[in-house]
Chains A and B, each alone.
Chain A
């Protein structure tokens, strides 16, 4: 797995700024950019439900399809028409969120290493979603459908795999066969089923996948779609006539943008573009990168009790339990699946043996990050704290993928940046406060709901709130512990929060000395 180490591209800075604005408008919980994948699922279901309704009234046939869609749109506008509009606009919204999801994961670098699987399986999904949407436009059998069908068939005819040009079957109304409509109706049910299956494959290597947006966002999106359906109902563009070439076409640019390219480029270059783009997307996770690789987690069986905490906390299902192999009396042992491990260290933070209160100098935890073992982390923390000179001494624990905490280091502030904040066992906080006289512990990491390693922020919050193992014990002085989530775009705010925290610590110390 790779780490960013606070290097921000222009696109990343821009994205973080924009998401910061959305956080102010929606709050981190409902920020649409934090759940683009879930929104994709959501729009898929809106399309499926609205499609099931209009499918009940749809008739397949050269002379039946268009009138049946007109009936749904006009005679039954109050339900069928709205359903048709929802079907179209949710399909368009699916494309929008799919493209944004892809761009976002790319910009944030969340496609390399073990994340290749979700990225790679997303590529055929793009093709299938476009195929299903285009197929849907054909079912209306209006002039747009005619244009799209003929253009698509001519495009496919370019491939040297067909004995006879398929376009000959669309040369006139007379040669067109009703079976074509049966075929596209069948495809319009089958392709979405394949999409659904691939969506399941797409998320199968991540734990706790978010497939539903929060209720407020789902409701907002549905209301927005309904408003659009009422303001601008989806309409047909006149019946098709194979004797007349559609000229001035109201094209759906989300799905059909490739067809105008065929007019200006011709079929070969458009195939080259589409296939080339797909191949490039597919191999992207394996292209050389400037980011450094971190070794994956390792299990130390002599310290593993098979407690399953690392399995529960791993966001990528990279730790599994197997029957014990070393003869110890525990029934199971943890095993790291190297291909799935992103080296976030969350498992090490979850391990009960990762406590700094252990007496051995070079102690080993049940599961460790070879690049940053717990004993090394303890030593680094002790050394850093020993160097602090002034009052309100604080140790800041941060994340390599969030704000660069190295810039916070001062005479009163020690810093330790981890691959993910959730690599920090809560016992380290107690250790810093009680054993090494830190006046306070400041914890930061990626923005709330936008953890680079998916669950790190949430697990940390729950551990500190004592609702998740390993828990922060109640004897820890909570007023001396501060959490503040900040991306690299929020550094100034982070610095001022730290200053405010240190001021509050000084007041606490003054108050303590009075008593």
Chain B
């Protein structure tokens, strides 16, 4: 092949090479979330209540313990904790339901949750319920009318020490 044609060919090759790289380095754009949707992130860690009652050790049981273990007291509590059940309802319809097992070999540690839930933007009634004991009733409930703007992230946290569910809605703060 004669030189000028070779140079043209090389120019075309390099153009194609950088064209492919330049284009696919940012295009086509990816629509991660449709324009009319928004995101709720349910995220918390919470230790459920112990599954059984604490009880006093009998004198025979105490006698079997080494002396240094007796200093800890005469009460013994079960290590295992209760499952944590969490539910979300939006406009009267169940949005999410999960039974969270406590972590740890003895199921004695926190129950953890992190979930993304995509919902339509707009004004909604959101109800969150949580049960952290072996009984049937949900001992933490929060219900609110919220405004979810498109693309915003609403975080639902839970802290028993501050009363239960915390709705962190950036839209609400701005409005």
Contacts and interface: CB of A to CB of B under 8 A. Distances in A.
B6 interface: yes
Given A228-B22, A232-B22, A263 B45 contact: no
A245 B151 contact: yes
A251 B14 contact: no
Interface string B75-116: 000000000000000000000000000010000011011101
A22 interface: yes
A248 B22 contact: no
Given A164-B45, A243-B170, A244-B153, A249 B30 contact: yes
Interface stretch (A85-93, A176-184, A473-481): A85-93
Given A165-B43, A165-B114, A263-B32, A245 B153 contact: yes
Interface string A55-66: 000000000000
Given A22-B13, A245-B151, A245-B153, 15 more contacts: A24-B1, A24-B6, A25-B1, A26-B10, A89-B18, A92-B25, A228-B21, A231-B22, A244-B170, A247-B31, A249-B30, A252-B25, A252-B26, A254-B25, A263-B32
A223 B29 CA distance: 27
B10 A25 contact: yes
Contacts of A250: 26-27, 29-30
B143 to A, nearest CB: 22
Interface stretch (B33-41, B63-71, B132-140): B33-41
Interface hub of B45, B114, B155 (most chain A Cβ within 10 A) = B114
Nearest to A242: B153
Interface of A: 22, 24-27, 32, 88-89, 92-93, 96, 147, 154, 157, 163-165, 167-168, 171-172, 220-221, 223-225, 227-228, 231-232, 234, 242-254, 260, 263
10 contacts: A89-B18, A157-B114, A164-B112, A168-B43, A171-B157, A220-B14, A224-B18, A248-B31, A249-B30, A251-B30
A154 B38 CA distance: 18
Contacts of A154: 114, 116
Contacts of A252: 24-26
A167 B6 CA distance: 53
Nearest to A144: B26
A167 B103 CA distance: 17
Contacts of A253: 24-25
B168 interface: yes
B26 A244 contact: no
**7 tightest Cβ-Cβ pairs between the two chains A and B:** A25-B9, A165-B114, A250-B26, A243-B170, A224-B14, A228-B18, A247-B33
B152 interface: yes
Contacts of A157: 114
A112 B69 CA distance: 64
Contact of B153 (A24, A89, A243, A249): A243
B114 A168 contact: yes
Contact of B29 (A164, A171, A251): A251
Interface of B: 1, 6, 9-10, 13-15, 17-18, 20-22, 24-27, 29-35, 38-39, 41, 43-45, 103, 109-110, 112-114, 116, 150-153, 155, 157, 168, 170
A26 B110 CA distance: 64
Contacts of B112: 163-165, 168
A220 B45 contact: no
A167 B43 contact: yes
Given A220-B14, A250-B27, A251-B29, A93 B6 contact: no
A56 to B, nearest CB: 24
B151 A247 contact: yes
A91 to B, nearest CB: 9
A105 B84 CA distance: 54
B141 to A, nearest CB: 22
B61 to A, nearest CB: 32
A27 B2 CA distance: 11
Given A24-B9, A171-B41, A242-B153, A225 B18 contact: yes
Given A26-B10, A167-B43, A254-B25, A172 B114 contact: no
Contacts of B41: 171
Given A92-B24, A93-B21, A224-B14, A244 B43 contact: no
Nearest to A167: B114
